[in-house]
A and B are shown apart, each in its own frame.
Chain A
């Protein structure tokens, strides 16, 4: 966790920055003003005026011209003298004004940074709590998935022992043994699901017709989810893809759509600026808003405990990322959900 900067530290920093700024400002502003007020400038003007007066005696015919130049120098000299006499006040006002602006800017920046820090701290805290909540939920699901078959298997074994002691028939013993076996198989399926998550292999990419893959998928899986109609958008594009892995992704998306009560799932190929995407849109109930930002995280699911571990979408996204593409949630509402499958390109 980051530590909050103390108010004293902030104030000291602002004061130090202000002091440095003032020193710099004082030096610079004094410098430009002193350039105009250098004694040499004044002396030069005075000498020039003296020259004009001398010239009027030596060359009386051009007296008017000398007078004009004399007056111009006199005016300039007067201005410099007026500014010289106001030098301190001018510098003070200039420095104070800029210093005030600096302090306001520094304070505003500090306040903004402080608020930003507080927001980041709050976000960090919220994310930590969410992570912890997610882990707790995961632990509950693991416990349930393991505890169910184990308890059932233990009870079946006890029944089996009773049957043995009671000289039960072979068929009864076989039935009890089969029940134990079924529960152990449930445990095995559960561990397989994790194995598939841990062992998602690299895709074997080949140039394939995406239109053909989608068409085949719609035909093959037409009765896979009762009450769900798969619609093929009809377009085609060549992509670099592992056909089996893409099918696994589409199965996962359609399975989720069926779970959300969708009646149709439309698979539409879109070509945009040379990029091929496959939009999968269902008309189910949508994904709850609070889950949308984390929908691709492992163990995030809308299903009840015992109905799935929430690994499907995270596996599907990993598969598409391995393709050089991605799987994104485009939109979700009570009218349905759209996922977008993007591909790496035509060259494998």
Chain B
């Protein structure tokens, strides 16, 4: 294993060079810390997500809402267009006052934990997240991180709930009209998203 320094990291979309230069001081303050990569045995690339993401005001607020904040990391090879990724789900259990975390990596390997404090959560956050495996000596990657405010299960639960409200007395919940008009519009709008472009050398 060895640390591979990223070449660059910018938030959201890479703008034109002139605009970047003009806005550089502003962007610098908004940028998360850089991604840190590790190459593990078997050509597995793992990334440590910046701690600044977890401490972002909007993210912190969402983390304590009781809903499952979902961090979706998509890694795309810019040359082969191969797509891989991982997901982290964090929910604060208001009853036991613990953080319930679940990590699903590129090979569907799952890890679940109960974490007692935010400090412990920040420590856990720093464990590498396995994103992809590659046999190539070089990996030009585009990494996208999207922070969603709630999980698919919570969205589906809310959809069924409002669908039932719109279709009182119908078997199986709502009417087709309510489902079509409202149910399909319940979508997790990202709280924030980041994009990094990196060129990894795995030699």
Which residues of A are in contact with B by a Cβ distance under 8 Å? 49, 53, 67, 70-71, 74-75, 77-79, 81-83, 85-86, 89-90, 92-94, 97
Interchain residue pairs with CB less than 8 A apart (8): A49-B94, A78-B158, A79-B161, A82-B158, A83-B158, A86-B186, A93-B185, A94-B181
The complex places the Cα of A82 from the Cα of B180 at a distance, in Å, of: 18
- Secondary structure at the B interface, as helix, strand, loop or mixed, is loop
Residue ID in chain B nearest A97 by CB atoms = B181
Which residues from B are CB-within-8-Å of A70? 94-95
Chain B nearest CB, measured from A167 CB (Å): 108
Which residues from B are CB-within-8-Å of A79? 154, 157-158, 161-162
CB proximity to A under 8 Å, residues B138-173: 149-150, 154-155, 157-158, 161-162
The complex places the Cα of A111 from the Cα of B65 at a distance, in Å, of: 53
The complex places the Cα of A217 from the Cα of B187 at a distance, in Å, of: 89
Chain B nearest CB, measured from A50 CB (Å): 9
The reply to whether B94 and A90 form a contact with Cβ atoms under 8 Å apart is no
Chain B nearest CB, measured from A82 CB (Å): 4
The reply to whether A78 and B186 form a contact with Cβ atoms under 8 Å apart is no
- Known pairs A70-B95, A85-B189, A86-B185; A78 contacts B66 (CB<8 A): yes
The complex places the Cα of A89 from the Cα of B187 at a distance, in Å, of: 8
The complex places the Cα of A92 from the Cα of B180 at a distance, in Å, of: 13
Partner of A82 from B94, B150, B181, B184 at Cβ < 8 Å: B150
Which residues from A are CB-within-8-Å of B154? 78-79, 82
Chain B nearest CB, measured from A23 CB (Å): 19
Residue ID in chain A nearest B191 by CB atoms = A85
Which residues of B are in contact with A by a Cβ distance under 8 Å? 65-67, 94-95, 149-150, 154-155, 157-158, 161-162, 180-182, 184-189
Chain B nearest CB, measured from A49 CB (Å): 6
Partner of B186 from A53, A67, A82 at Cβ < 8 Å: A82
Question: Known pairs A74-B95, A79-B161, A85-B150. 4 more at Cβ < 8 A?
Answer: A74-B94, A78-B66, A93-B185, A94-B181
The reply to whether B94 and A89 form a contact with Cβ atoms under 8 Å apart is no
Residue ID in chain A nearest B189 by CB atoms = A85
The complex places the Cα of A56 from the Cα of B187 at a distance, in Å, of: 35
The complex places the Cα of A71 from the Cα of B93 at a distance, in Å, of: 10
Residue among A70, A77, A83 facing the most chain B CB atoms (10 A cut-off) = A83
Which residues from B are CB-within-8-Å of A90? 182, 185-186
The complex places the Cα of A138 from the Cα of B162 at a distance, in Å, of: 75
Please provide the 9 A-B residue pairs with the shortest distance between their CB atoms, ordered closest to farther: A82-B158, A93-B185, A79-B158, A86-B186, A90-B185, A89-B185, A79-B161, A97-B181, A94-B181
Which residues from B are CB-within-8-Å of A89? 185-187, 189
The reply to whether B157 and A75 form a contact with Cβ atoms under 8 Å apart is yes
- Known pairs A83-B162, A86-B187, A89-B187; A78 contacts B182 (CB<8 A): no
Chain B nearest CB, measured from A319 CB (Å): 62
Residue ID in chain B nearest A98 by CB atoms = B181
Residue ID in chain A nearest B178 by CB atoms = A94
Which residues from A are CB-within-8-Å of B149? 85
The complex places the Cα of A195 from the Cα of B29 at a distance, in Å, of: 108
The reply to whether A78 and B67 form a contact with Cβ atoms under 8 Å apart is yes
Partner of A93 from B65, B66, B181, B188 at Cβ < 8 Å: B181
The complex places the Cα of A90 from the Cα of B179 at a distance, in Å, of: 11
Residue ID in chain B nearest A80 by CB atoms = B158
Chain B nearest CB, measured from A31 CB (Å): 15
Which residues from A are CB-within-8-Å of B188? 85
The complex places the Cα of A202 from the Cα of B158 at a distance, in Å, of: 81
The reply to whether B182 and A93 form a contact with Cβ atoms under 8 Å apart is yes
Which residues from A are CB-within-8-Å of B161? 79
The complex places the Cα of A85 from the Cα of B186 at a distance, in Å, of: 8
The complex places the Cα of A75 from the Cα of B184 at a distance, in Å, of: 20
Which residues from A are CB-within-8-Å of B158? 78-79, 82-83, 86
Residue among A79, A81, A90, A93 facing the most chain B CB atoms (10 A cut-off) = A79
- Known pairs A78-B157, A82-B155; A67 contacts B95 (CB<8 A): yes
The complex places the Cα of A89 from the Cα of B162 at a distance, in Å, of: 14
Which residues from B are CB-within-8-Å of A83? 158, 162, 186
The reply to whether B67 and A82 form a contact with Cβ atoms under 8 Å apart is yes
The reply to whether B95 and A53 form a contact with Cβ atoms under 8 Å apart is yes
Which residues from A are CB-within-8-Å of B157? 75, 78-79, 82
Residue among A75, A78, A92 facing the most chain B CB atoms (10 A cut-off) = A78
Chain A nearest CB, measured from B104 CB (Å): 21
Which residues from B are CB-within-8-Å of A97? 180-181
Residue ID in chain B nearest A53 by CB atoms = B95
The complex places the Cα of A94 from the Cα of B186 at a distance, in Å, of: 12
The reply to whether A86 and B65 form a contact with Cβ atoms under 8 Å apart is no
Chain A nearest CB, measured from B151 CB (Å): 10
Which residues from A are CB-within-8-Å of B181? 93-94, 97
The complex places the Cα of A47 from the Cα of B149 at a distance, in Å, of: 23
Which residues from A are CB-within-8-Å of B184? 93
